[in-house]
């Protein structure tokens, strides 16, 4: 059976042993398979996944990643703080301790992704709002809500900005790494981030992880807006902390409904409880 964590393990990830992992490694007995044990020996909080995989004799990449995933799920390893250095958003200050998706988050994301792919096959697009009710954002009363749209297709970006403006948002566009850093470093915290995955010089999943690690930005709702429609991509987005995943091409009313639901602005037939929103 496929390990859902495999899709979450990036070559550039740097992992360190948890206490449980240390105990497993130093214990008198272990039930771990040889490859998992070998990785526990080698994981040092410095080398990334690709480097460790390259040093493993005659083992397939996907097998190494699957084992990494299993070790994360079993709580033996966790993303190391050094990952922050490995990523290239050096100017992106205010990082908190890095987060790894919990086993529960991965299970939920996997279930949602399965439903999503079915929906995608039937309807051509899929939306899931995964945020829990307690985390529902409230719109500030004294100013327009501010959205950051991270999208490199200029017409689509303009289209989204136009739609959000009509819905009462101020929107800032960012199409590449520098613009993302600039937009997210503004003093006013955004109230919403729409995030494309495939960007010219950045990976949306990495951006999502940086946002979720950032002290000031970690609670900002993020909707992944992407043409990456594979089950693995949906799992990766939701388990990585995205509040919603909308596949492109999308219908605008679907996006607007999702945003309104996220902000508790939906009325009548548009009203939809948190965590059950699937359009």
Partner 1 sequence: MKSEDDFERGLEAINEAFRRALPEKVRQVEDIWRELQAGHAAPGTVRELQRALHSLAGSGRTFGVSGLSEAAAAAEACATRIESGSIADGALRSDFERLLENVRNAASAP
Question: Interface residues with partner 1 (CB under 8 A)?
Answer: 124, 152-153, 155-156, 158-159, 162, 165-166, 168, 196, 198, 200, 226-227, 248-252
In the complex, least distance from residue 247 CB atom to partner 1, rounded to whole angstroms: 9
Q: How far apart are CA 174 and CA 150, in angstroms?
A: 5
**Locate tokens 């550039």: which residue?**
12
C-alpha count within 13 angstroms, C-beta hemisphere, residue 242: 30
Give SS3 for 17: strand
In the complex, least distance from residue 150 CB atom to partner 1, rounded to whole angstroms: 13
Nearer to partner 1, 18 or 251 (CB): 251
Nearer to partner 1, 27 or 124 (CB): 124
In the complex, least distance from residue 74 CB atom to partner 1, rounded to whole angstroms: 31
In the complex, least distance from residue 161 CB atom to partner 1, rounded to whole angstroms: 9
Nearer to partner 1, 50 or 156 (CB): 156
In the complex, least distance from residue 225 CB atom to partner 1, rounded to whole angstroms: 9
DSSP H helical segments within the chain, as ranges? 19-26, 34-42, 49-54, 61-73, 83-86, 103-123, 154-166, 177-184, 204-213, 231-239, 252-262
How would DSSP label each residue in 199-215?
Answer: -SS-BHHHHHHHHHHBT
Nearer to partner 1, 144 or 218 (CB): 144
In the complex, least distance from residue 153 CB atom to partner 1, rounded to whole angstroms: 5
Nearer to partner 1, 74 or 167 (CB): 167
Q: How far apart are CA 254 and CA 209, in angstroms?
A: 25
175's CB contacts (< 8 A; 6+ apart) are 150, 151, 152, 154, 157, 199, 200
Nearer to partner 1, 159 or 274 (CB): 159
Question: What is the rounded radius of gyration, in angstroms, for the C-alpha atoms of the chain?
Answer: 20
């Amino acid at each position: 059976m496929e390990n859902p964590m495999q899709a979450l393990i990036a070559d550039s990830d740097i992992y360190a042993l948890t206490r449980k992992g240390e105990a497993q490694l130093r214990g008198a007995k272990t039930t771990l398979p040889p490859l998992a044990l070998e990785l526990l020996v080698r994981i040092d909080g410095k080398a990334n996944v690709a480097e460790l995989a390259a040093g493993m004799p005659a083992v397939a990449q996907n097998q190494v990643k699957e084992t990494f995933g299993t070790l994360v799920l079993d709580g033996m390893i966790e993303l190391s703080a050094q990952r922050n250095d490995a990523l290239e958003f050096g100017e992106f200050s205010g990082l908190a301790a890095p987060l790894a998706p919990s086993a529960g988050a991965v299970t939920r994301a996997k279930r949602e992704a399965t439903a999503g792919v079915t929906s995608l096959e039937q309807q051509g697009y899929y939306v899931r709002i995964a945020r829990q009710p307690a985390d529902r954002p409230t719109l500030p009363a004294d100013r327009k809500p501010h959205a950051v749209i991270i999208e490199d297709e200029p017409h689509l970006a303009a289209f989204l900005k136009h739609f959000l403006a009509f819905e009462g948002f101020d929107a800032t566009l960012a199409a590449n790494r520098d613009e993302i850093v600039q937009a997210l470093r503004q003093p006013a915290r955004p109230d919403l981030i729409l995030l494309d995955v495939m960007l010219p010089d950045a990976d949306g999943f990495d951006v999502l992880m940086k946002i979720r690690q950032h002290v000031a930005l970690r609670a900002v709702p993020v909707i992944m807006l992407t043409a990456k429609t594979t089950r693995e991509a949906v799992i990766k987005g939701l388990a990585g902390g995205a509040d919603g995943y909308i596949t492109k091409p999308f219908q605008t009313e679907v996006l607007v409904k999702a945003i309104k639901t996220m902000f508790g602005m939906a009325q009548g037939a548009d009203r939809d409880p948190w965590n059950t929103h699937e359009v």
